[in-house]
Structures are given as structure tokens and as C-alpha cells.
Structure 1
């Protein structure tokens, strides 16, 4: 089998690229030939150094680095991205048996859907966010600081001032969304476009939004790239830990404030627009972005818990799964896909993303015996059905086999596939 995996970058700029790169490695280790096609050139992640992985850069530019008007035009529809992808696929010595798209908004644009549809091979898209349905990508009202309740592209959606930047940005994203739908409906027609959901929650929300399109829905867990090790001792840690981009929709401000109110220090790994705000809260330490192995070591040494108090309907934050694998209790928002991997009160806590609820939950973690018990249960439960790279690759191979079978038999869609660890 030969799989072509498409994404914006060959190094992790976010969860989508991280999963795309790790998927490529897992498939290669399973014996699948992989070509990773990335829009923007640059250094490649060492995970891609494998004899069964080929890499093709399209020499495109990140639209965020373009002048605003040009970034808007190319973000809506990049003819150059379509032309270069078409040429790259035609130049491959072995035609891919299937194509798997992970992210397209930063360099590839919706134009790539037309190119992929013309290839004739089955196409999968992993939905790391809501961009296939929602103009701003996170199904969140930034004007109200709450999840959206509008149907995407309904009259209410078209007029809602929900964009995190401006009304002009919203208009551009709406046009991009319409162009995206036109490319999918015009290109795929009766053939299915296979959508891969990374959590039950995101699937339950997205599937109704996309009703009526040529979509076949599947469910596969993201991989967690951690080897099994002795569980951490979170009771010896002293900090409430947050890992990722410091934004309001991710709840970074809530972590700093609630930890301070609960009388516990907080540790922030990452950066973002709220960096100065969280630094100003007493007891907060910000260490910036760190390599994955350094993040793991920091969490094992310092964290009593890892927190993801998302205000938005987050699909499946990897940091929560990594903490469970290490034996660190987790606290997740009841709006996040990660919450379905937590046994409330047994391996961590599921709570509303508000200051009072988080403060109360953090205060409970002053109890060393409770923290140690939660961590041990988290480790044992995670490793009873681990979300390993090998398990992820096996799930993808099963999915790909079903997609190819549907393509060969001419059926309308492949059997809906679901593989997720029960935790």
C-alpha cells in the first residue's frame, strides 16, 4: 500500500501536523509506503527519517506570512497550491492508493480538494478542528466567549460577529467556506469523502453539521508518542500545569487565577497572547515552549495535575492523553473531547470551564493521598488500552482497507470504522 499524507508543514506547528507526522512514521513502521506532501518548505521532523517515508515540499508560503490582502486571496483559493500539488502527485513514481489530508488552511487552501478529487483514489480528511464546517474553525463565539449554537452558514452565522480578529476576517473565512463546499460537492459528487473524527464528542457535533454532503464518517484516536515507563509520582509535584497556547478559549487565564485562589502554584509550558496576563498572577511560572522530551520531564517532576479547561469544544487535546500515559491526574473541561478519556474522580476530574469550579477542584489536589491514587489509576487505565503509535497505525490500515474496498466495489461508502481506547 502507498499512502500520501498531506499537511501544511513537515514540523509540528500544532496538533494537526504532529498527528500527520506521527501517522506517517507509524504507517511506515507497519510496512506502508508513505509520501508526506507539505505545503511550506523547511526542516523536517526527525520522525520522518525512515526508508519507507518520502517527502515532497510544494514551496508554498504560509498565508499568515503574506500581506493581508494576498493572504486572504490565497487562503480562499490558491491556484498555485493546486497546480503544484497536481504536479507533485503526477511526478510520484508510484501512484498513491489513497490520500489523507490533515490540514489545509495555512498554505494549501480549499483548492486542494479539487485536485484530490481528480486523483481517483479514496480520500480521507482528519478533522482536528471544525474548519470543514465552521468559518472560524473552532465553532466558538469569540464575541461572547462561549461555544457557538448557530448552524454553520445559516443566516445567523453569516451575520454573527464571532471572528477572533475582525468582521473582515469573518467575511474572508465565509467566502473560503463557500469555496470549500463548492470544491467538495463539485469534485466528489457521489463518491465519498472519508472524514476521520478524533473524539466521540467532536463526531457527535460535526456529523449533523455536515449532513447532506458526500461524507462517510469514521472515528480513530490520535496517537500518543510515549513509551511505557514507571508512573510519575504527582504527589511529589507542586504545580498545576498547563501545556499549549495561552488563549482565552483554551482557558489559560482560568488556570492561573484558579490555582492562585486555591493556594497552589501554576506552571505554564508554551506561549500565546495571554502570556503577560498569566505571568501577572502571583504564583505563576511561565517557561515557554520546550521540546517534547523536556515537557515530559518537567511534568513528571513538577505537575500535580495537567489541566485543559477549554471554553471551546476542543476535539481532543493530546497533552491530556500524554499526562494520563505518564500517570499524572488530569482535569479537563466538560466541553473537551479529552473528557471522554477521564473517569471523573478516578483518574482525574471533568469540570465546567469556570473559575469557581476549577478553584474547588484544584483545592482538592492538596491531598497527597488523593493525587497519588488518581495518578496510579490514570497510568493503569491508560496502559490497559493505550493510544500508541502502533495502535493508531493499525486503526488507519483497517480504515484504509475499508476505503479501498468501497472504491473497488463502487459502493456509496465504506463501512463506518471506529477504533478508540476505552479509558
Structure 2
């Protein structure tokens, strides 16, 4: 039986999970591929020895030993970040190795260079684990939905943000309290910026849009807002009017341009996305042939993500065995058919809105605010005012009918400039009627 030898760079959470999946499923993978797909060498600078069950696996502190080793067929990069991960991957490709990675930041920002290098070297790059953890999102988009024009992508793509928002909603806790608890339990990083400010989600949206529409897209083309300004009062308003707040990635296909945005959204309770709990992810594609397809599951974690990494390893192993390298292009579209993405300006977006204006509790304040909104063509559907806080400050929550983003920005800038305004106005877009 032929061996397909895997070299692993990084034996952290996902790396050790990948190794465990390969070990536990070794016999099953033999029956499915006709080859012995096994871990042969590991590079990691932080460990002195591998667990006893990996006694036959060679350990090194030098990743170049994995990259250059002539007996390695597939190099798996699981250290994350841009460098030195990018250098290791490009070296592996230059050495004629196939590559698998879970590195969404790298693929979203440097995928174009990596895929071009792989095509030139006639090797493959697998990146299933870069989006959705254990959910087979990439394969579904690359192959399962290949006959569809993708009309939209809407999803919850960050488990940490979803966990925080769910606990705020279900337990009435504030953002900072939940974040600290999430960090203590390992659900959030010590520096949670990428998760809570939407950057991690934006990385994933770039990858999915590139595949869905056949475009080259930059991270800075995605309008990105996070959840750190969400307060219990916003959660309570959403609940009262039949919504739950979710951090959504949203893209819509307008033919000659595409929406690309990540932001908190009030989602109607009856929508499936409103009911995604815990740290789970859910991604909905809408195709012109299939209509809506929702993929749901664990978006992170040692074994789910390891499962996705091994799925790529097996795909590549099968292609090696059958002489079918690059049978499916990395981004589903042939490289020569990829085009530059044109992004629909966020300023032209029209949807209903929620506003939380924090003002001094004085006569005439509410009429001044509604007057400004009215001058910008923004009509208010409902208003809710909470009790007075310290120093006579009161939050006023408003639900607006559909309005244009550009008008909303101008109105809120004018409102925030009022002397009675005690803090920047918080706005949250509402999903329905977008």
C-alpha cells in the first residue's frame, strides 16, 4: 500500500487535533483512499517531545526540515499569522510539495500569490479549515454549488462573537463581563480584537466572496464593524421588538458589483440565523438554482478544525494517487477567469435601522433629534426611553424605517455634534426589508 506522508508545521490546538484525527482515522482513511495517509514529521518550537501515541513521528524545531524533506508529500501549515507562515508555504510549493492550511488571514490577504505559485508548480493548496471550522463550507462552494450563480452570502462566522452576544442576550450580562469570562474559559483570545471587531469574520468573507463570484478581493474592501459597543439596553430593545443581535458577514451579488460588509445586525427571531447558539457558526448561500442552503456546525475547536484539515489532506492524497492534480481550481474558477472585484458602496445601502442616542435629559432634546432625522429623510417607527442614568444622561432608543446609509451617517454626525449628546450614537442595521 502506498504511503502519503504528511509534514506538520505547528502542534498547537489545531495541529494536535489534526494529528489525532489522522491517528484515530488511519484505518478508515486507508479503506477510503487505498493509501496509508500518515503523519511523518512535525515541526514545533514550543514542545520538547510528542505524546507517546505519536512515537513513530519525527519531531524537529526547524520547519525547513519539513518543507525540504524529500519524503514529505503534503505540508500542513498550522501556526497562523502572516509570517513566517507565508514563507514556509511558498518554500514548500517551490519544493514541489502540496500544502494544506487553516490560515484565513494569510489566504484572504495573500491567497492570490500563493495560488499562482501553486498553479505554476502544479501542486495543490487546501484551505477548507480557514472558514467555518468543521463545517465543509469551502468544498460546498467550490464543488457542490458549482452550477449556481451565487446571489448572496450571509453568515455567522465567528464563534467568539456569537458566544458573547448569546450570553448577553440570554443572561442580561454586559459585554466586558462576558468577554472576561470567555477569556477565562478559553473561548476568547487574550487579545480579542480580531474576533469582537469583526476582522476575523472579514477574512473569511473575503475567501468566500473570491470563490463565490470569481473575483480578486482585498480585506480593506470589506466594511467592518464589531460588537464592542453593544450594551444590554440594545439587547433588550431587540428582544422587545422580536430580534436578536448577531455579528453577520453579508455579501450580495449585484452583477457588476458586490456588497461586502461585516457588522452587528438585528435579525428577526423567526430567521434560522437568529437561533444559532453558543460558539456555533452558520453560513447561508443563496444560489439561482438551489435557492437557500444553510451550513451549520462547530466553527472552531481542536477536533472539528482538525477534521477539516484532514479532509483537505485526503482530497490531495486521492488526486496524487490518480494523477489528477489541480482537477478543481483553488478558487473554483479557472485563474484566467478571475476578475477584480467592484464593491457596492456601503453608503448606498438601504435598510431599517436602530439608533441609541445618549443625551442629557432636557426639554426639547427629542424633538431636536427627530427634526434632524426628518431633514435627512429618516422616519422613526418607534421610540423607547430608559430611566435617567448618572449626571442626568438618558439613552433614547429608536427604530427607523428603511433609510439610506449615507443619509444616516450625515444625520448621526449632526446629532452627535449637539451639546446635549453625551456619547456617540450607536446604530445597528436591521435585517428585514434590506
Q: TM-score range by the shorter chain?
A: 0.3 to 0.5
Q: Over alpha carbons, which structure has the higher Rg?
A: 2
When the two structures are superposed, what TM-score results if normalisation uses the length of structure 1?
0.38
When the two structures are superposed, what TM-score results if normalisation uses the length of structure 2?
0.37
Larger RCO: 1 or 2 (CA < 8 Å, sep 6+):
2
Which one has the bigger strand percentage? Answer: 2
